[in-house]
Amino acid sequence: MTRIGIIRHGSTEWNKEGRAQGSSDIPLNESGLLEAQQLANRLSKEQWDVIYTSPLSRAKTTAEAIASEMSDVEVLLDDRLREVNGGLIEGTTEEERVAKWGENWRELDLGMESKDQVFARILSLVQDVTDKHAGQNVLLVGHGAFIRHLFEVLLPTYKAETRLKNTSVSNIVQSDNTWQCELYNCTAHVDKQ
């Protein structure tokens, strides 16, 4: 049985401002650094064998904080974990998008990465991870839209009721070639503060 822990990176200034980040490399802000440390403290009490992370600094810094609290856990950069490319919307708020492109901006070709492209890299990543780490506990540190797509492709009947919070933990387990969700969007490490 392979277990994958899925982590959303800590907070950034663009999160705070409601700006689409996409593939823009926005660092953690002060709150995000604190959240990453709180998450690291939580995960240090659990057994994880390896950490894969997006190379974008907000995810990489979160992964490095986690690894700093664990002994002998390797951090591997994997570009397939990067956030969904937002094209022209990156750096904008919803209000700015509506002002610039109208209420139906989602229907326009604004250079965003397609769902099929994201699904293809998710499936490639998960296949590689499960092949290399069968029966292990693997952390994936990534981004909100990417994680929502991951759940959509691996657990199509799972209905996520809440928006993913920064440094949230979601655990999925593979058994008999199917995935089950054990934990979704848990931020107990931050909420108790």
Residues comprising the binding site? 8-15, 58
**How many Å is the Cα radius of gyration of the chain?**
16
Which residues belong to the annotated binding site for substrate? Answer: 8-15, 58
Torsion of CA 126, 130, 135, 138, to 10 degrees: -40
Report the relative pairing of strands 178-186 and 169-175 from DSSP bridges. Answer: antiparallel
Helices 57-68 + 30-43 axis angle, to 10: 40
137 phi and psi angles, rounded to 5 deg: -110, 115
Token code pair at residue 53:
């992370």
Q: What's the half-sphere exposure (Cβ side, CA atoms, 13 Å) at 181? A: 20
Catalytically active residues are: 9, 83
